[in-house]
Amino acid sequence: MKYRITGTTMQALGVLLSQGEAMVTEAGGMAWMKGNVDMKTNMPGGILGGLSRAAMGESIFLTTYTCMSPQAEITFTPEAPGSIVPVELAEGQSILAQRDAFMCAQQDVTLAIHFRKRLGVGFFGGEGFILQRVTGPGMAFFEVDGETVEIELQAGETMRVDPGHIALLEPTVNFDIETVKGVTNILFGGEGLFLATLSGPGKVWLQTMPLNNLISKIIAKIPHKG
């Protein structure tokens, strides 16, 4: 499988498939395609699998696109302005993603729920108690809101992040939540009540413009009738 990512803040992912190769995405995730492609939409894992994906903020149904000719090209586009992050996963290798981040992947890649063990992360973490665990082998592609910033944390190295800016992280990264200290900071700091503490070793992908922040800014500019 070959692919190319084009564009800047409104990117497109073009995947070039050879005969027999397949890609899996959410229902409605494909933008356009060329060649003889077999398209099948189903609910992998049955009702429980569908409910699990719904809990992750994803579609209940997944669609598999299989190349039936010597070659075919399929183009996928994000749901919101942002970046496309490609990650090549080895057999059994996983990555954790925020809800609604999964875009598409090769057929052998699997999706599962990843529960945070600390209740603090679940109830106060901004992105919710449930993350996606995406496991190889194969290429997986993710949607990141705004631009992408990649940070490699060394063992014991720690950083604090507004939870909404966390897009992806390796499972070796420890993820915890702490309360913002100081009444003035809480009331007037504009950063919310909580910050995520990320501790290495491992890689973290941060997003510069979480969709919820963008929506809040747009709503604030909409005139309201008295």
Its pTM stands at 0.82
Task: Express each pLDDT in 133-177 by its tens digit.
Answer: 999 999 999 999 999 999 999 999 999 998 889 999 999 999 887
Angle CA 128–77–81, to nearest 5: 60
- Which 3 state secondary structure label does DSSP give 213? helix
pLDDT in tens, the chain (226 residues): 899 999 988 899 999 999 999 999 987 789 999 999 999 988 765 555 555 655 555 567 889 999 999 999 999 998 888 999 999 999 999 999 987 889 999 999 998 887 654 444 444 444 445 788 999 999 999 999 999 999 999 999 999 998 889 999 999 999 887 766 544 444 444 444 678 899 999 999 999 988 777 777 788 778 877 5
Strands of the sheet containing 30-34, edge to edge, are 2-6, 12-18, 71-76, 30-34
How far apart CA 133 and CA 139 sit, in angstroms, is 14
Cis link prior to 210 (omega < 30° from 0)?
no
Domains of the chain: 2-221 (3.60.160.10)
